Amino acid sequence: MPEQADVIQPDFIRRQRAFAAHLRDPARVPGPEDVEDRRMAIYRDLVFNNVSALLAGNFPVIRRILPDAQWDGLIRDFFVRHRAKTPLFLELGQEFLDFLQTARTGDPRDPPFLLELAHYEWVELALQISDVEPDRTRIDPSGDLLDGRPVVSPLAWNLSYRFPVHRIGPDCRPDAPPDEPTHLVVYRTPEDDIAFLEINAVTQRLLILLEEESSPQTGCEVLGRIAAELGHPDPEQVIAFGAGLMEDLRTKGVLLGTAC
C-alpha cells in the first residue's frame, strides 16, 4: 500500500487545496498561476472578512478591546494554524475557542485574559443556541427546596475564572488576575435571555453539591453539609440563609424546582 502522501490525487482536488491554502495564508503560499491576482484578491477579502465578521459577532468584547491590526492578525493566525472540524457557522465560535486553547495558548501578543474572556463569550452563545431541555415531567416547580431535592437547570453553567471576565471591556483590561477567582453562573432565563450571576465560593459549592447525582440529597441536607464543611457554630443559621438563597435561584431560573 502506498503512503497517504504518495497517493495521486485528482487534479481538481489538488487545485482546490492549493486555492484554499493561498486563501488561508496568502503571505506565504502563492496563488494559482493561471488566476489573475486581482481576481484572487476578491476571494481573499471575501473569505477573510466574512469569517472576521462572524467571529466579531460571537466575541464582541474581544473585538472591541483589540486594535484593528491586532484583531486582523489574530484572525489570520486562526486561518493559518487551525483546521476546523465543522462546516457549521454556529459552531465557528467553538473552533475559535479550540484554537485559542491549543495553537495560540500563551502567545505574548495577547492580553493575559484573552482565553478566559473568549470562553465566557462562547458560553453565552452556547447557551443561547442550546437545544437541551429538562424533563419537566420529573420536576415539581413549586416543590419545597429544603425537604425536596432541588434540580439545577441544565442551562445554568457554574463557572470559575482567574479574571473578572464579566467586567472586562475597553475601560477594564487587567494586566494580572486579582487575588480571588471570579465565580459566575451563566444561565438562560425562562424568557430565553442570557444572564449571569456573580456568586461566592459557598454558593458555588451549593450548586456543585446539588448537581451530584451519585448521592442525591435534600436541600436541607446539602446546606447542613456545607455548614459542617465551614465549621459554622450555628448550622441552622446556614440552612435558613441557604433556603432564601435557593428561592432566589429558583426565581431566576437557575433552580427549576424539586425532583418528583
pLDDT digits (tens, 9 = 90+) for 212-223: 877 779 999 999
Quick one: which of 188, 208, 203 has its CA closest to 252? 188
What is the pTM assigned to this prediction?
0.88
Q: Is residue 122 in a domain?
A: no
**For residue 85, what pLDDT is reported?**
86
At 91, list the grid cell. Answer: 459552531
**For residue 40, what pLDDT is reported?**
81
**Which residues 6+ apart lie within 8 Å of 18 measured at CB?**
29, 32
Same domain, 176 and 74: no
Same domain, 149 and 102: no
Q: Is residue 241 in a domain?
A: yes
Same domain, 105 and 146: no
- Are residues 100 and 115 in contact, defined by beta-carbon separation less than 8 angstroms? yes
> Which positions of the chain have pLDDT values less than 70?
1-9, 12
Q: What is the domain extent for residue 31?
A: 11-110
Q: What CATH number is given to the structural domain containing 229?
A: 3.90.930.50
Q: Is residue 246 in a domain?
A: yes
Q: Is residue 4 in a domain?
A: no
Summarised one tens digit per residue, pLDDT across range 4-42 is 445 666 776 777 887 778 778 888 877 777 777 788 888
**Which residues 6+ apart lie within 8 Å of 257 measured at CB?**
139, 140, 141, 142, 143, 148, 150, 151, 250
Question: Which ranges constitute the DSSP H helices of 102-234?
Answer: 114-129, 201-210, 219-230
